[in-house]
Amino acid sequence: MKLKRKRVVKKNGKPKGVQKVLIVAKQNKVGIAAAKKVERLLKNKVKEIHVDNSTALKMRRRGATIRKFRGDLVITLGGDGTFLWTAHKVNVPILPVKLEGQGFLCSCNLKQFTDNLDKILKKDYEIVERMRLNCSKVTKGRLAKYMKSIHGDYPLALNEIAFARKRPSKILAIEYKIDDVVFDMIGDGVMFSTPSGSTAYHSSAGGAMIDPSLSVISIVPLYPFFSKVKPKIIPHDKKVEVTVKNGDCALVIDGHGGDYVKRNTKFVIETTKPVKVVKIVEQNFYEKIRKGLMA
């Protein structure tokens, strides 16, 4: 994880603040109410305020497409799910504000956002670059390559990429390769996680919680059936080749994107461009674990 102080300066030496904002809210009463409040706070302080289409529908106003947003800042209001869903769609810095739930990936709560609004609008904040994983299907033949060019690759994973059995009554056979060394796994599946995702599904499956300052990929077998394959932590610059050998497989990325995978389908998993997360208050990773996950 890289930290850097971001302060954009005009030619005349004066700082250039936030001019164009997109608000993305959780689709419940709490989220919509927070979106209205944040919009009021930003009114007359920034040039453009946009709201994503789903939120805008409930606010009875015109919305904006998240993927097409090219502004200064995206503000998500909800929890980790809202943040992860948005992170799949933009490369603009995101400020995730916690309203409810665990919100382990969120930078602040609504009160902290309000208290630090002037600093945020001046871009007087740090940007944390959180590692992401890319999952690419290995295609062969003209038709397969053509279909991939139309539909594109899967969403980038901020938390995890899981290959899991589609049917509860059937086990799954997975092969993954690191540095040309093959590991076979039979069971419920296998998960590849970033440090950000190590406190979520990855931890529930028996993986270690990883300090987000480390650039590593964690591999955790999901309930292996008489398998000696153990969890592994590998350097971020390794590429992992994955093959679904047998069974009905569901590919799930951060709980949102995914696919149903046929046998003998091959994939490559590797690190890719990080997501940019705005940080406005100091947060200690170990303190968050102690208070949020062990209380």
Q: Do residues 114 and 105 touch, judged by C-beta distance below 8 A?
A: no
How many Cβ atoms from other residues are within 10 Å of residue 283's Cβ? 13
Q: How far apart are CA 68 and CA 122, in angstroms?
A: 24
72: Cα within 13 Å, side-chain hemisphere: 19
Q: Do residues 219 and 235 touch, judged by C-beta distance below 8 A?
A: no
Question: 246 to each of 154, 184, 185, 229, how far by Cα in Å?
Answer: 21, 11, 11, 17
Q: How far apart are CA 5 and CA 124, in angstroms?
A: 8
Write the single-letter amino acid at 103: G
Q: How far apart are CA 20 and CA 72, in angstroms?
A: 5
**80 part of the active site:** yes
Q: How far apart are CA 50 and CA 33, in angstroms?
A: 16
List of E strands, the chain: 2-6, 20-25, 48-51, 73-78, 94-98, 108-109, 125-137, 160-165, 172-178, 181-193, 216-224, 232-235, 240-246, 249-253, 257-261, 266-279
Q: Do residues 237 and 160 touch, judged by C-beta distance below 8 A?
A: no
How many Cβ atoms from other residues are within 10 Å of residue 150's Cβ? 7
Catalytic residue among 52, 80, 188, 254: 80
Name the token pair of 247.
């069974």
Q: Do residues 25 and 55 touch, judged by C-beta distance below 8 A?
A: yes
| Residues with catalytic roles | 80
